[in-house]
Amino acid sequence: MSVFLDHASTTPVRPKALEAYLEALAHLGNPSSVHAHGRETRELLEQAREKLAKASHCDKSEVIFTSGGTESNNHAIKGIYWQRQLDRPRKYIISALTEHHALIDPIEWLEKHEGAVPLWLPVARDGQPDLVVYEDWLAKYGDEIALVSLMWVNNETGAIWDIPGIAGLAKQYGIPVHSDAVAAFGHIEISFQDSGLAAMSISGHKLGAPIGVGALLVARSQKPISIIHGGGQERGLRSGTMNYPHALSLAIAAELAVGDMAEREARLEGLRDSLEASLLAAIPQAQKTISGPRIGHTSSFVLPGVQSDSVLFLFDQHGISVSAGSACQAGVLGASHVLLAMGYSEAESSAVIRVTLGHSTTQQDIDLFTSSIAEVYATALKAGLNR
Ligand SMILES: Cc1ncc(COP(=O)(O)O)c(C=O)c1O
């Protein structure tokens, strides 16, 4: 019996999204070709654009299909930064070190190669950003700020930020705001048109579409500089033959995720709460990583005295997949950069466990997890003492 409780890393493809993908794949035609075959696949692509626009509340011309969250973040950060240098130099980028590396790294790349100056917003242990500092920076640096980029939901802790409020404050200074909504879209109510955002990143495999597809929503008022060049597809922002099967599966998954969101998230929140109660009963010294507003399907704890990698390995031996935070490329766990940025110590940030539930999670998954906690923790503690 295997249990998957790492839905923030990726979540099962919804059967209807898979069906749509396979059906679309059977159609032949380059969506940019003018002949009947091309027009047919263009029609599928435009259906996908319309569906995704409806699910995210934006205009269909604002949907740019990409390969996923990482690519969307790179287009937004670099594209808007360069766009904002056209009439005068603006070197500042406001963001936070609690963001995903798919956002921090493009900003650090701009710092190293283009002279950008990141302003990393302090984030408190409750999981919330310091909006007093944010307002001070807006007032102090004003028109020298190229953009603000802050995530809607943190993928490690589940913290929800008031992105429309953050965008509203920046608007007073005419500063464009991007949000990485990869952990948010399809899980909480989001309306791009009401958010005040200039751009927003979406990833398909976090909401039931296959890995390798995503979107960047770009407000019509924005003209980011393209980071890739070629045939000029997708408003000239994302050249390359349009991937209509993937786009369609993303749109169907988004439609379904938004459609059953209220009922699903309420169910998952109930399961999450019972999981947390069992975890705290087994390990009373465990600490929830945040106390502020958070998403219903994410649970993140510091387990004092252990190392995350031991805990993950021991759960894995019980057939249970959980994580410590972002799935990293090397598969080697260090301290969580998110917790470090929130002021947790190195030891605390290396002792974190993240359990994330998804549309396929059942009560039985939770029961199997909770029945292993005490043993896993006791063994991990011993392993820690022997290191
Ligand atoms: C918050 C966040 N942003 C961006 C990404 C990257 O998305 P993708 O895997 O689609 O490139 C992830 C993936 O874990 C994420 O959690």
Per-residue pLDDT tens digits for 216-238? 999 999 999 999 999 999 999 99
Q: Are the C-beta atoms of 103 and 75 separated by less than 8 Å?
A: no
Which whole number is the average pLDDT over 67-95?
Answer: 98
Q: Report the percent of the chain where pLDDT is more than 70.
A: 97
CB of 106 sitting under 6 A from ligand 1:
no
> Quick one: pLDDT at residue 330?
46
**Which pTM was predicted?**
0.96
- Asked if the domains 3-10+261-385 and 15-259 are classified in one and the same CATH topology, the answer is no
How far is the C-alpha of 34 from the C-alpha of 38, rounded, in Å? 6
Q: To the nearest whole number, what is the mean pLDDT of the chain?
A: 96
Report the b/e string of 146-185 with b at 16+ CB within 10 A. Answer: bbbbbbbbbbbbbbbbebbebbebbeeeebbbbbbbbbbb
Q: Has residue 316 got a pLDDT over 60?
A: yes
328 as an active site residue: the answer is: yes
Domain ranges of the chain: 3-10+261-385, 15-259
CB of 149 sitting under 6 A from ligand 1:
no
Q: What is the 3-state secondary structure (H, E, C) of 281-312?
A: HHCCCCEECCCCCECCCEEEEECCCCCHHHHH
CB of 356 sitting under 6 A from ligand 1:
no
Q: Has residue 198 got a pLDDT over 50?
A: yes
How far is the C-alpha of 153 from the C-alpha of 1, rounded, in Å? 31
**Mutate which of 9, 182, 337 to test ligand 1's pocket (most atoms within 8 Å of Cβ)?**
182
Name the nearest CA neighbour of 279 among 159, 372, 385: 372
CB of 127 sitting under 6 A from ligand 1:
no
Report the b/e string of 229-265 with b at 16+ CB within 10 A. Answer: eeeebbbebbeeebbbbbbbbbbbbbbbbbeebeebb
Which whole number is the average pLDDT over 175-181?
Answer: 98
Scan for tokens 């002792």, then name that residue: 351
> Quick one: pLDDT at residue 387?
60
> Quick one: pLDDT at residue 273?
97
**Mutate which of 95, 100, 149 to test ligand 1's pocket (most atoms within 8 Å of Cβ)?**
100
Q: How confident is the model over 118-142, as pLDDT tens digits?
A: 999 999 999 999 999 999 999 999 9
Number of other residues whose CB lies within 10 A of the CB of residue 295: 24
How far is the C-alpha of 172 from the C-alpha of 95, rounded, in Å? 18
Which whole number is the average pLDDT over 34-54?
Answer: 98
Q: Has residue 327 got a pLDDT over 70?
A: no
What SS3 state is found at 151? Answer: coil
Q: How confident is the model over 1-38, as pLDDT tens digits?
A: 799 999 999 999 999 999 999 999 999 999 999 999 99
Which whole number is the average pLDDT over 327-351?
Answer: 85
> Quick one: pLDDT at residue 1?
79
Q: Has residue 287 got a pLDDT over 60?
A: yes
How are the residues of the chain apportioned to helix, strand and coil, as percentages rounded to the nearest 5?
A: 45, 15, 40
Which whole number is the average pLDDT over 178-198?
Answer: 98
CB of 155 sitting under 6 A from ligand 1:
yes
CATH 3.30.450.40 holds for 3-10+261-385: no
- CATH for 15-259 is 3.40.640.10
**Cα of 247 vs its chain's centroid, Å:** 18
> Quick one: pLDDT at residue 386?
60
Catalytic one among 328, 360, 362, 363?
Answer: 328
Number of other residues whose CB lies within 10 A of the CB of residue 266: 10
Q: Which two tokens stand for residue 373?
A: 């906690």
